[in-house]
């Protein structure tokens, strides 16, 4: 992917390459880590993320593991990187072997966990594979940390292949420890977990992650609660607080009891963007810095519908008073206006803090396997699913009783046993295999409780979230170019109105801000071309594919 000009199409194709075979994508690249760039994925890459977590791994969700960034020398903040702060990616930071914050490390609220990597010049670096069938002992930066985390996550999936993408993030939170990691900003959040902007929840423990994976009970479906806080222009004071009491959609189908990700979508102007520090404080008293000062960010553009994300409130109860803080950390004459502020809460209706901590039924409860390895009979009330015995069926499966078989010539008797069978592909949870047996739907789908079916989301009538920079359509496609674009998009957009919308726009991706690899803390900029939301006419598709 990184051997030429990077486009939104190429990014989306790379992140959706052979999803039937690839369960984990490890990415160590992103926008330039220069301390002044605010940029994120284009419309096709966002679509690839969404399709990955809803359709990948048979509906359990593809896992996107992301390096948090190497802009520490430039006081960069990874919450200004729309890849690392996506709820669909699992962002990984670095620590040195002594447990210090590396010089290249970026501190931000979206980092979930940490693994070892390089430090100062005299510290050992990471050994890994290299180009041309070679090895290297000089891999560095957060680029080396993300693959280490991906390997640990692969071990957890091997122990329990029925984990969803959200299950894995829950497990990573619980399998990360403060250990000997040194930082001044360690805080205890509202549910008693230690969390840091440098390290997330701490150093990822591979053994603990695997042990937890074996015994994990599936999480309930993801809920989203959007709270419109402010939509009238308000002058930004040198130090101001915007308070909002939130019910977390109580009494509705999308009620959230336990938080996962929290997003803050802001539109504001500011005379010097890097001087503005933004924070969010939860009802349980956890304060998370959404973006710290960035001395090199002298832009006067502010943030245009930019989404900040924090993982620091994980498992907290969102009901109560939320406080958004904005503070001028620079020259006193800085001015700005807050135009829009929306609080986006993600989580589940289950009280995750009430879960039992003891061991549950695991694969060791299997008392009989077939010749291929899958479990045929579990001990006690457990359900057989693949090679495992689970206390209840995971998402995309339903509980049924396999009929007893009486003994016959050359055939042993088989008792009636609880097993897990697959739901229809449109269901997240179900009571049977029919498309009319759904009890919960994947994200963005709608449940018809009367029919028991899940319907696809209606075609979007508005435009998606813009990235930091928007460009008009500059070029038109000829017939040959249009066909080439069709072929390139098929892997990502086939079956959705997006493909037809792009064709009707007839635009080539315009060039925007440079991006960089994160293979080394001292990287070089590359030209990146992305299709911007303004270049795409969304709505009803104007063409059909046979």
- Position 123 scores a pLDDT of 86
Residue 19 three-state SS: coil
- Position 356 scores a pLDDT of 72
d(CA 235, CA 338): 6
Task: Please give the backbone phi and psi of residue 156, each rounded to the nearest 5 degrees, phi first.
Answer: -65, -40
- Position 367 scores a pLDDT of 75
- Position 412 scores a pLDDT of 58
H/E stretch holding 429 reads: strand 429-430
Domain boundaries for CATH 2.10.220.10 within the chain: 363-403+413-455
Q: What is the pLDDT of residues 277-333, one digit of tens each?
A: 999 999 999 999 999 999 999 999 999 999 999 999 999 999 999 999 999 999 999
- Position 471 scores a pLDDT of 37
Domain boundaries for CATH 2.60.120.260 within the chain: 223-351
Residue range 6-215 forms a domain whose CATH class is: alpha beta
Q: How far apart are the first and last CA of the chain?
A: 30
CB 87 within 8 A of CB 56: no
- pTM, whole model, 2 decimals? 0.75
d(CA 197, CA 288): 8
Torsion of CA 439, 440, 444, 448, to 10 degrees: 20
CATH number of 363-403+413-455: 2.10.220.10
Residue 30, beta-bridge partner list: 516
249 secondary structure, DSSP code: T
Domain boundaries for CATH 3.40.50.200 within the chain: 6-215
- Position 459 scores a pLDDT of 58
Q: What is the pLDDT of residues 377-433, one digit of tens each?
A: 787 677 777 767 777 787 788 888 876 656 566 655 566 778 888 888 888 888 888
Q: What is the pLDDT of residues 150-168, one digit of tens each?
A: 999 999 999 988 899 999 9
CB 61 within 8 A of CB 54: yes
- Position 255 scores a pLDDT of 97
CB 452 within 8 A of CB 439: yes
Find how far residue 221's CA is from the centre of its chain: 15
Find how far residue 306's CA is from the centre of its chain: 16
d(CA 180, CA 173): 17
Find how far residue 367's CA is from the centre of its chain: 37
CATH number of 223-351: 2.60.120.260
- Position 122 scores a pLDDT of 83
- Position 517 scores a pLDDT of 56
Q: Which residues in the chain land under pLDDT 70?
A: 2, 357-365, 372, 380, 387, 403-415, 444, 457-546
d(CA 506, CA 483): 11
Residue 139, beta-bridge partner list: 126
């Amino acid at each position: 992917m990184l051997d030429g000009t990077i486009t939104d199409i190429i990014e989306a194709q790379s992140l959706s390459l052979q999803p039937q075979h690839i369960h984990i994508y490890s990415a160590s690249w992103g926008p330039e880590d220069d301390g002044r760039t605010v940029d994120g994925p284009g419309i096709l890459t966002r679509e690839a993320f969404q399709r990955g977590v809803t359709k990948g791994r048979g509906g359990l969700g593809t896992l996107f593991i992301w390096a948090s960034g190497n802009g520490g020398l430039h006081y960069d903040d990874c919450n200004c990187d729309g890849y690392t702060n996506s709820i669909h990616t699992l962002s990984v930071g670095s620590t040195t072997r002594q447990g210090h914050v590396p010089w290249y490390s970026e501190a931000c609220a979206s980092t979930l966990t940490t693994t070892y990597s390089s430090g100062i010049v005299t510290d050992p670096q990471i050994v890994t594979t290299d180009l041309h069938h070679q090895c290297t002992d000089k891999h560095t930066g957060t680029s080396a940390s993300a693959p280490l985390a991906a390997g640990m996550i692969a071990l957890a999936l091997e122990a329990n292949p029925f984990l969803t993408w959200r299950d894995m993030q829950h497990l990573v939170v619980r399998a990360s420890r403060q250990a000997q990691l040194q930082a001044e900003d360690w805080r205890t959040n509202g549910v008693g977990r230690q969390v840091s902007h440098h390290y997330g929840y701490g150093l990822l423990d591979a053994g603990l992650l695997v042990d937890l994976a074996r015994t994990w009970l599936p999480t309930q479906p993801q809920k989203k609660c959007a709270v419109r806080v402010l939509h009238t222009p308000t002058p930004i004071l040198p130090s101001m607080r915007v308070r909002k009491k939130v019910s977390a959609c109580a009494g509705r189908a999308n009620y959230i009891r336990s938080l996962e990700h929290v997003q803050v979508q802001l539109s504001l102007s500011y005379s010097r963007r890097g001087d503005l520090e933004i924070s969010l404080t939860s009802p349980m008293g956890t304060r998370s810095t959404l973006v710290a000062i960035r001395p090199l960010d002298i832009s006067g553009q502010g943030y245009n519908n930019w989404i900040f994300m924090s993982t620091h409130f994980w498992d907290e109860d969102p009901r109560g008073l939320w406080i958004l803080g904005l503070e001028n950390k620079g020259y006193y004459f800085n001015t700005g206006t807050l135009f829009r502020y929306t609080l986006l809460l993600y989580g589940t209706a289950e009280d995750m803090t009430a879960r039992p901590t003891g061991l549950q039924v695991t694969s060791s409860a299997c008392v009989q396997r077939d010749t291929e390895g899958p479990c045929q009979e579990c001990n006690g009330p457990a359900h057989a699913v693949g090679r495992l015995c689970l206390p209840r069926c995971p998402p995309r499966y339903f509980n049924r009783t396999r009929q007893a078989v009486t003994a016959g010539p050359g055939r042993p008797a088989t008792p009636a046993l609880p097993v897990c069978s697959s739901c229809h592909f449109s269901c997240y949870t179900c009571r049977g295999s029919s498309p009319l047996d759904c009890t919960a739907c994947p994200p963005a789908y709608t449940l018809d409780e009367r029919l028991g079916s899940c319907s696809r989301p209606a075609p979007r009538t508005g435009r998606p979230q813009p990235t930091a920079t928007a460009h008009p359509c500059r070029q038109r496609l000829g017939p040959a170019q249009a066909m080439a674009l069709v072929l390139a998009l098929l892997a990502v957009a086939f079956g959705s109105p997006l493909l037809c919308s792009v064709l009707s726009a007839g635009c080539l991706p315009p060039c925007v801000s440079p991006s960089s690899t994160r293979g080394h803390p001292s990287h070089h900029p590359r030209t990146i071309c992305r299709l911007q939301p303004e270049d795409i006419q969304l709505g009803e598709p104007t063409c059909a594919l046979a």
